[in-house]
A = this chain, B = another copy of it.
């Protein structure tokens, strides 16, 4: 931590700031510059140290040096973490592929989807039973009925089930029927929910909030890790920017950045990340080339009649072609994409 004093800070103010550093159990190195003085702070930093120093008289700014997250950090664990749940793995040379409809609409729909995505090489099936919708007037999901249909789809195909949980009350129920609990982008900073999924024996797919910084994203993961659940996967699904020709802006540089900062696997969602079916295949391939550990893609038997997200869903044929493209890119980079196609 570096405490930067104002150019006109008095000797008293500098001494007071240095004293405060001492009171926090840290060591102050006062460095007198030609234009201003800085205090380099050494020691194990307490939580509030930065905030407390920031408001001292004569202090211009306090610059943290250490990352605020710990258990998610590469500094704590240098090897990548592989998260495995049944048919699905991410964080190794095999790229995990989660595919399926935005919402579970019927048993036929989810079973057909699971079979089709499995045939194309996916290693997990997704489908929403509890849907967080922007409008209270939109379809809100089939709830427990939807979860049961997902479980049936797993039984039929052997694919791991990924589904979203939106409330602490539902965690136990959703965990009963699924293999991976998805935390949606809107809930990335719903800390109670993070703590709740940190307490169950299920892998977690944590989606980045559309305005979350990388530190905020990793601190959200830290909430889950801190409860003892180490099977956390990070999902880049696009951020909100001034761009309007895509639904969100998908910043693939997140993938190599996160690989440098954290040992957790990084999944990319090109469906939400673009918001348009025709952009999904190229961005899925680009995600693989950027080094992603997994993909999550919306696939629907009949996107034109989907209950939600039809405009960004692939149909079965489009998904098979996308998988073929991504498989070639993965192979060129000495990786494998999902399971071999049927």
Contact = CB atoms under 8 A, between A and B. Distances in A.
A4 B304 CA distance: 16
B279 A253 contact: yes
B42 A40 contact: no
Contacts of A192: 166-167, 169
B211 A191 contact: no
Given A249-B253, A289-B285, A332-B332, A136 B38 contact: no
Given A251-B249, A310-B51, A35 B66 contact: yes
A187 interface: yes
Nearest to A7: B75
A36 B328 CA distance: 39
Contact of A252 (B47, B211, B286, B325): B286
Interface string A136-179: 11110000000000000000000000000011110000000000
A123 interface: no
Interface residues of A, number: 103
A305 B332 CA distance: 34
A33 to B, nearest CB: 5
Contact of A2 (B2, B42, B132, B166): B2
Contacts of A306: 51, 55
Given A56-B304, A257-B245, A289-B286, A139 B329 contact: no
A287 interface: yes
Interface stretch (A80-88, A91-99, A199-207, A216-224): A216-224
23 contacts: A2-B63, A4-B65, A29-B29, A29-B31, A34-B44, A35-B66, A51-B311, A55-B311, A56-B304, A132-B191, A133-B191, A134-B189, A167-B192, A169-B192, A187-B190, A211-B242, A213-B245, A214-B245, A239-B243, A240-B240, A253-B282, A256-B279, A288-B289
Interface of A: 2, 4, 7, 29, 31-36, 38, 40, 42-44, 47-48, 51-52, 54-56, 63, 65-66, 68-69, 75, 132-139, 166-169, 186-187, 189-192, 209-211, 213-216, 219, 222-223, 226, 239-246, 249-253, 255-257, 260, 273-274, 277-279, 282-283, 285-291, 303-311, 325, 328-329, 331-333
Given A213-B244, A329-B333, 5 more contacts: A4-B65, A213-B245, A241-B241, A256-B278, A288-B289
